[in-house]
Amino acid sequence: MIENVQIEELYKQMAQSIIDGEAELAVELAQKSIELQMHPLETITKGFVVGVNYIGDQFGKGEAFLPELVMAGEAMKAAVATLEPELLKLGEAREMMGRVVLATVEGDIHEIGKTLVGTMLSASGFEVYDIGVDAPAEKIIGKALEVDAQIIGMSALLTTTMVRQREVIEELDKEGLRPRIKVLVGGAPITKDWAEKIKADGTSEDAVGAVKLAKQLLGKE
Amino acid sequence: MQPKLTLLTDEFIDRILDEAYQLLLRPGIKVQNAEARQLLGDSGGQVDEETQVVKIPAQIVKKALESVPHEFYLYDYDGKPVVHYGGDSVHFDPGSSGITMLNPETFEHETTETSHLIKLLKIAEQLPQYDAQSTAVICHDVHKDIHDLYRLYLVLLYSKKPVVTGAFTNKTVQQMIDMLVVFAGGKDALREKPRAVFDVCPAPPLIWSNFGSGNLIALARACVPAEIVSVPLAGAAAPVTLLGAVTQHTAECLAGITIHQLARAGSPIVWGGAAAIFDMRKGATPMGAVESAMLDCSYAQVAKSLGMPTHTYLGATDSKLVDAQAGLESGITAMVGALSGINMISGSGMLDFLACHSAEKLVIDSEGIAMAKRMIEGVKLHTEHLATDFYDSKINFKGGDFLKQKITMQLFRKEQHLPSNIIDRDSVRGWKESGGLDAFGRAKIRVQELLASYAKPELDPIKVADLHAFMRDLAKQAGMDSLPAHDLSPAVV
């Protein structure tokens, strides 16, 4: 039987692999935990999540930077993907903060901001479905219904495409899907006034703020 | 490749040198120190004792230029070479000789005392952009006879960095050298690893004062580095043309180097200055004027053509507040200095024609310096291929693709200078959440943080005790029974 000291050491290595953004190492460590018959959920929460939280914290303080944040997010994704089949076997699922569908609206192909929000949300424990750019209203809503999302996040970089955000919200209202589904809007031209005007549930100017907002909307903070 | 700014063609440099040699003969240099006149006279200079003017022939200048070192280092307390005088090395230090300091709350320019200098020392000690400290402000709470050496005493107590300093008399320069000897552990040790460089100023036009030349001689004999701070004021104390003023600057430097090398050949000396144009509206000497920076860039080119180490005064402003004018004048001129490859650039932190210091400005200027230093690092090759290897199989034509590459994480710090939070790149939300401050407001906070995080340097207690005793003696001679109390003053005086 594996000793507690070894497990603690392994948790440390897992956290470090996320901090260093070493996806391959994170996967190796996840596999090792399976071989050692460690509990997959505990492996995630006591090992890998510690690393994500650390790097998120450092980022908030201005001491870690976007490449590190993104690499950590990618490493986290890879580690969780390795452990997910084990969780399914046990009939357990990682408790998620919530499910979010992300998209850049129709006619708009800008996505760096949206991708960052996605990375931050996943790293913070949200289940993120990023359906990419140039997404029409029906595709966004369809995906939200399919995965039973609590939040839709929409990005628009252009003043000419930001109006599409309103179309999606109007469509949701028509279908009676609100307030079941909350809507967050973002992008360079998006202001608080705009968000209020189109009756969105909130907007943030950056990825860190978006995570905070998403947690608040779901009463997780 | 270190990018360089040059303003003079080779032809102009030749003409400047040629005419500077002519100025050394006609009208000659007024040398107000008898010993310096004697040195020049004994070596072939034509001395008029009545007018004190010496005609200095080219051959003794050229001989001096042959013996003068083309490079040397300043060392920190631990004996590490930190400042390289020579080539195109670039270092910055806070401006010196301030007489007032900006109160960040009242905006008053307060007369400086011991506490002001200590505050500046604590800040500069922790900012890596400053490779050297300077004896930044005069402490008016001590007798004027010890103004210069008391500043050096405080720097030695509060800092481990090399020091840019200067003496105010021929007597005190020797005492300051002795002070450095105490800390270096002997004259030879100081000679081998000099901790400080001494600014020595000729007086424009074409005058080496008794005190200036006396300092040159004392420093040369002790083999402690001297730094000529020639101050042509174009249009008032020098020709109005930039080329004319640089030519006068050249003549003053050549004369200084000659006196210095005649006192002791092979001693280190720097070709420097605080050149400025003369403002024709206010009769002021604007350090933030672009033409002042152009004078500096030009004389540095002349110096480099002779293989001389260089110094200048840039990165300062004439504004009375740490405002937009302060930012643009300081930032632009620091960049010009760095691009000119000047070895020591003094002036950061200073307002009001080098009269007023500001701790907040010192903090903000360090960001401008960081930008200038990044600039002169130039554009570098980090990868075998410039771009093609970045587009691997994982590329899916998305904006964030490169953020996910390990090489981005490995190289972004090498390519990008990461500014402190003095520089605002936040979203409006983030900016508001952190107080909605301007750069000055952020600098005020940073100053408080740095004052809180300052740690006393670990110094040999015997040397420190010797230094205190040495300083007490000099203070007594100046009629002071005790010195102002401060953090690192001895518990029992």
Distance CA B123, CA B361 (A): 11
Q: Supply the pLDDT for residue B198.
A: 98
- Interface contacts A/B by beta carbons within 8 Å: 45
**B489 and B472 in contact (C-beta within 8 Å)?**
no
- Report chain B's mean pLDDT, rounded to a whole number: 96
Contacts of residue B456, Cβ cutoff 8 Å, sequence gap at least 6:
B158, B487, B488
From the list B318, B308, B313, B317, the residue with the least C-alpha distance to B296 is B313
pLDDT digits (tens, 9 = 90+) for A179-198: 899 999 999 888 889 999 99
Q: Is the alpha carbon torsion for A114, A116, A119, A122 positive or negative?
A: negative
Contact between chains at A70 and B429 (C-beta distance less than 8 A): no
Contact between chains at B398 and A115 (C-beta distance less than 8 A): yes
pLDDT digits (tens, 9 = 90+) for B261-281: 999 999 999 999 999 999 999
Best to test chain A binding among B394, B402, B404 (most A CBs inside 10 Å): B404
Q: Looking at the predicted structure, is the pLDDT value of residue B186 above 50?
A: yes
Q: Is the alpha carbon torsion for A143, A147, A153, A157 positive or negative?
A: negative
Q: For residue A10, how far is the Cα from the chain centroid?
A: 25
B382 to chain A, closest Cα gap in Å: 17
* Burial of residue B400, with CB atoms counted within 10 A of its CB: 0-12 exposed, 13-18 middle, 19 or more buried: middle
Summarize chain B as % helix, strand, coil (round to 5): 45, 15, 40
Three-state SS for B354-379 is CCEECHHHHHHHHHHHHHHHHHHHCC
Q: Up-side HSE of residue A109: CA atoms within 13 Å toward CB?
A: 3
Q: Looking at the predicted structure, is the pLDDT value of residue B351 above 60?
A: yes
pLDDT digits (tens, 9 = 90+) for B21-64: 999 999 999 999 999 999 999 999 999 999 999 999 999 999 99
CB atoms within 10 A of CB B55: 16
Task: Tell me the DSSP string of B385-413.
Answer: SSSGGGS-TT--S-TTGGGG-HHHHHHHH
ipTM beyond cut 0.90: no
Q: Which residues on A lie below 8 Å from B409 (Cβ)?
A: 21, 67-68, 71
Q: Which residues on A lie below 8 Å from B427 (Cβ)?
A: 205-206, 209
Which of A200-209, B230-239, B264-273, B454-463 has the least mean pLDDT? A200-209
Summarize the confidence of residues A150-154 as an average pLDDT: 96
What are the strands of the beta sheet with B344-348, ordered from one edge?
B91-94, B344-348, B311-313
From the list B20, B50, B70, the residue with the least C-alpha distance to B202 is B20
Contact between chains at B406 and A116 (C-beta distance less than 8 A): no
Q: Looking at the predicted structure, is the pLDDT value of residue B475 above 90?
A: yes
Distance CA A163, CA A158 (A): 9
Summarize the confidence of residues B372-380 as an average pLDDT: 97
Contacts of residue B155, Cβ cutoff 8 Å, sequence gap at least 6:
B121, B133, B134, B135, B163, B165
CB atoms within 10 A of CB B6: 15
Q: Looking at the predicted structure, is the pLDDT value of residue B493 above 70?
A: no
A81 to chain B, closest Cα gap in Å: 17
Q: Looking at the predicted structure, is the pLDDT value of residue A1 above 60?
A: no
B78 to chain A, closest Cα gap in Å: 30
**B60 and B43 in contact (C-beta within 8 Å)?**
yes
Torsion, CA B415, CA B417, CA B418, CA B422, rounded to 10: -160
Contact between chains at A111 and B418 (C-beta distance less than 8 A): no
Asked whether the bond before B194 is cis by omega within 30 degrees of 0, the reply is no
Contact between chains at B399 and A112 (C-beta distance less than 8 A): yes
Distance CA B29, CA B251 (A): 8
Distance CA B226, CA B262 (A): 14
Summarize the confidence of residues B323-340 as an average pLDDT: 98
Helix, strand, or coil (residue B343): coil
A4 to chain B, closest Cα gap in Å: 33
Q: Supply the pLDDT for residue A2.
A: 67
Q: Is B404 on the interface with A (CB under 8 A)?
A: yes
Q: Is B418 on the interface with A (CB under 8 A)?
A: yes
Distance CA B165, CA B439 (A): 30
Q: Looking at the predicted structure, is the pLDDT value of residue B123 above 50?
A: yes
CB atoms within 10 A of CB A129: 17
pLDDT digits (tens, 9 = 90+) for A78-90: 998 899 888 888 8
Distance CA B164, CA B268 (A): 14
Higher pLDDT, B116 or A64: B116
Helix, strand, or coil (residue B307): coil
Summarize the confidence of residues B97-112 as an average pLDDT: 97
pLDDT confidence bin for A154, thresholds 50/70/90: very high
Q: Is B106 on the interface with A (CB under 8 A)?
A: no
* Burial of residue B279, with CB atoms counted within 10 A of its CB: 0-12 exposed, 13-18 middle, 19 or more buried: middle
Angle at alpha carbon of residue A182, lines to A181 and A184, rounded to 5°? 140
Contact between chains at A205 and B427 (C-beta distance less than 8 A): yes
pLDDT confidence bin for A149, thresholds 50/70/90: very high
Q: Supply the pLDDT for residue B491.
A: 63
Q: Is B425 on the interface with A (CB under 8 A)?
A: no
Please name the helix (run of DSSP H) or strand (run of DSSP E) that holds residue A207, with its range, or none.
helix A207-217
Whole-model pTM: value is: 0.88
- Report chain A's mean pLDDT, rounded to a whole number: 90
